[in-house]
Chains A and B, each alone.
Chain A
Amino acid sequence: MSLSATTAPPASPPTKPAPPRVPGRLSIRLSRLDVKASPYLYIAPFFVIFAIFGLYPMLRTAWMSLHDWDLIGDHTFIGLDNYAALLRDEYFWRAVVNTLGMFVLATVPQLLLALWLASLLNRPRLRARTFFRLVVFIPNVTSVAAVAIVFGMLFARDFGVVNWALEFIGVREHIDWDAYRWSSWIALSIMVDWRWTGYNALIFLAGMQAIPRDLYESAALDGAGPWRQFWSVTLPMLRPTLFFVVIVSTIGGLQLFTEPLVFNSGNILGGTQRQFQTVAMYMYEKAIENTHTAGYGAAVSWVLFVMIILVSLVNVLLIRRSVRS
């Protein structure tokens, strides 16, 4: 692009360039303040909202947990008595066992299945790739309560489809799915897996696609078969993704609430012997449904919080150990 030949500037009396405006002192100070402070102001809205709707309720719950708190009556300060009672509470520990048991039963097969699905979806010559990826994600988009209602009907004792199907493989007597610990855990784990396997598969898929192909090529050149490649190339490269998926699954799985509640037709007790009552349900029963034990329920919620942190740490350590870089 040639510069258009500018005509010579018209002869005009050379004017002195305007003297630069010297900024006043206040202007300088404000400008410096602007540079330093405005980043914080930009992120402030999130923190303000978090302070009001996140931090304040947490602190207030902690305060409530130190009292014998009646939602529509009086409060008396009792210090750590709620926590002491909690450690001796058989039903709390039953809820913890239920929660951890359902968590392991749901999450381990789910993540293995998700890894397998992701490796299938990652195949280079897969047709209709986008379609499969969409289909795998659809269960995650459905309403939790609707899924729980439908699965509740599928697992009904007398007229449920699952029992009917089991008849064909010889199971004569109808299983009462919500009557026993093992059966209710299986039913609820299936519900959770149905929802989250696709989601986790897509996250793994994204992680896998970030692995450079030449790693696989060099592994193949060294004589590694597909299984060895998976173990030595894919999994170590997927470690950050694994951390993320495991932590998110832990946080979600330990707070399981809607599925067991709807499975039991809205009864917070989690079965006739609390066989599938989770810690979140126990907290709701004590803190909200039963107006007299709100302080105790607040203690349960803080213990749940600590539990989630602990289990997440344990899981991270496990991953770090078993998937070596």
Chain B
Amino acid sequence: MGVTTRRLRVVAAASTAALLAFGAAACGESDEPASGGKPEKLVVDTFSEFGYDELVKQYEQQTGIKIELRKTGNLNDYRPKLVRYLATGKGAGDVVALEEGILNEFKANPANWVDLKPLVGDHSKDYLAWKYELGIAPDGRLMGLPTDVGSLAVCYRRDLFEAAGLPTERDEVSKLWPTWDDLIEVGQRYRQATGQALLDSVTTVASAVMFQAGGDLFYDKENNIIADSSPAVKQAWDTSLKIADAGITAKVRTWSKEWEAGFKNGSFAATFCPSWMLGIVEQNSGPENAGKWDVAAVPGGGGNWGGSWLAVPAQSKYPEEAAKLAEFLTNASSQIAAFKLKGPLPTNLEALQHPDFLNYTNPYFNNAPTGKIFGESVSKIQPIHLGPKHQAVKERALEPALQAYEGGQLSADAAWEQFLKDAEIQGAF
């Protein structure tokens, strides 16, 4: 007794045929263009907000090439997708945004990226020197053109400073702490006056001090890990320990729930802000604190946290056109336009001098001239050598060790040992 009737057999045969046809069509699909011809479409991959919406339309009109702008909201969602595209060899855009941490990581495999220098020429004088240098891979190829920087300043609560008897005008506040030791003094004054902590955590201090020291940070020029002997690292470590010992931090880990709650609750009166942090401070503090925050200069003069480049993956079918598009998006007028639209700080030297940038004020932060403040801070940075896994060593070796010391879970020696051990593990590539 067979279950298959004739009708069922026919249906089965038809569906199998359909599946096979579909499979063949899907596998056989290829969009092999005539190489060297003009592309119909270029894809730009970005995360968060780069401010390119109007710029790509402008480029479309100028050149007739359609541009698809793909945005991923969160950097943590963007990176795995990018890794997948590179690992499988397909799916990446023609122009891809690389954040500072990702760029450094991907520098270890530069073959994935097109050398932009022969395609766009020498732009080394157009951008902040250290930023342009960082876009060059170890094998000498220009991996990325600079888009924006984070810079570094101090966001502080004017009302809490006033309650502690400290000056509240941003120029006076900047004068309060020209050096890190001065910052410690202010923190102790604040603690005595109010019983609360001035800063949120020591980890941003470490990063700022390293950038101010300049030179080789975790790696030397041959990309060997020198965490144990690097003077910049030692300076950053010692300063952070001093700050932790002085007890002027609230011991909240950046990005944790306590840290987010601390903005509303006032458990810390100041935090280190790159320009992209301003939006986050505003969001965490809420509309009721509008006008209470302000922006002052960072001790030691300058600093940077974050920033991106635009690169062209080797798997792109139109590297020349993609490179030209990247060049367009990173020239002076585009960077000004993007800044006005969404706020990323330009790296183009011409853009940094533009009146639109210098005169910009942020209403939430008491109309602070954020363009001027951040522009000054970032222009003070010395040349630095970051190395391939700088981000991983900073976030997975340096910061946990400092946080463990700050929280009292480890002694200074034990924390240093843990840092060195983790630096070797995280820094390997």
> Which residues does chain A contribute within 8 Å of B392, judged by CB atoms?
290
Q: Are B112 and A272 in contact (CB under 8 A)?
A: no
> Please, which residue of chain A has its CB at the minimum distance from the CB of B250?
A158
Which residues A136-162 have CB closer than 8 A to chain B? Answer: 152-153, 156-159
Q: Which of B61-69, B182-190, B398-406 contacts A (4 or more CB under 8 A)?
A: B398-406
Q: Are B106 and A72 in contact (CB under 8 A)?
A: yes
Total A-B Cβ pairs within 8 A = 64
Q: Are A180 and B409 in contact (CB under 8 A)?
A: yes
Q: Are A291 and B401 in contact (CB under 8 A)?
A: no
Contact with B along A244-265 (1 / 0, CB 8 A): 0000000000000000000001
Contact of A156 among B4, B76, B255, B257 (CB under 8 A): B257
Q: Are A272 and B403 in contact (CB under 8 A)?
A: yes
Q: Does B241 contact A (CB under 8 A)?
A: no
Contact with A along B79-110 (1 / 0, CB 8 A): 01001001100000000000000000110110
> Which residues does chain A contribute within 8 Å of B418, judged by CB atoms?
273
CB distance from A158 to the nearest CB of B (A): 5
> Please, which residue of chain A has its CB at the minimum distance from the CB of B254?
A265
In Å, the complex CA distance between A38 and B3 comes to 10
> Which residues does chain B contribute within 8 Å of A176, judged by CB atoms?
407
> Please, which residue of chain A has its CB at the minimum distance from the CB of B260?
A265
Q: Are B400 and A273 in contact (CB under 8 A)?
A: yes
Q: A273-B400, A292-B108 are in contact. Are A71 and B258 (CB under 8 A)?
A: no
> Which residues does chain A contribute within 8 Å of B400, judged by CB atoms?
269, 271-273
CB distance from B86 to the nearest CB of A (A): 4
Chain A contact surface mostly = loop
> Which residues does chain B contribute within 8 Å of A156, judged by CB atoms?
257-258, 261
Q: Interface size class for chain B?
A: 35 or more
Q: Does A218 contact B (CB under 8 A)?
A: no
Contact of B112 among A72, A157, A158, A266 (CB under 8 A): A72
Q: Does A76 contact B (CB under 8 A)?
A: no
In Å, the complex CA distance between A152 and B76 comes to 20
Q: Are B267 and A158 in contact (CB under 8 A)?
A: yes
Which residues of chain A have a CB within 8 Å of any CB of chain B? Answer: 31, 34, 38, 70-73, 91, 152-153, 156-159, 176, 179-180, 265-266, 269, 271-273, 288, 290-292
Q: A159-B261, A265-B255, A288-B80 are known contacts; what are 7 more A-B pairs with Cβ within 8 Å?
A: A71-B83, A73-B108, A91-B425, A158-B265, A176-B407, A290-B426, A291-B105
Which residues of chain B have a CB within 8 Å of any CB of chain A? Answer: 2-4, 76, 80, 83, 86-87, 105-106, 108-109, 112, 252-253, 255-258, 261-262, 265, 267, 392, 396, 400-401, 403-404, 407, 409-410, 418, 425-426, 428-429
Top 6 nearest A-B pairs (CB, nearest first) are A272-B404, A72-B86, A272-B400, A73-B109, A272-B403, A71-B87
Q: List 21 A-B contacts (CB under 8 A).
A: A34-B4, A71-B87, A72-B106, A73-B109, A153-B257, A156-B257, A156-B261, A158-B262, A159-B261, A159-B265, A265-B255, A265-B256, A265-B257, A272-B401, A272-B404, A272-B407, A273-B404, A273-B418, A290-B392, A290-B426, A292-B108
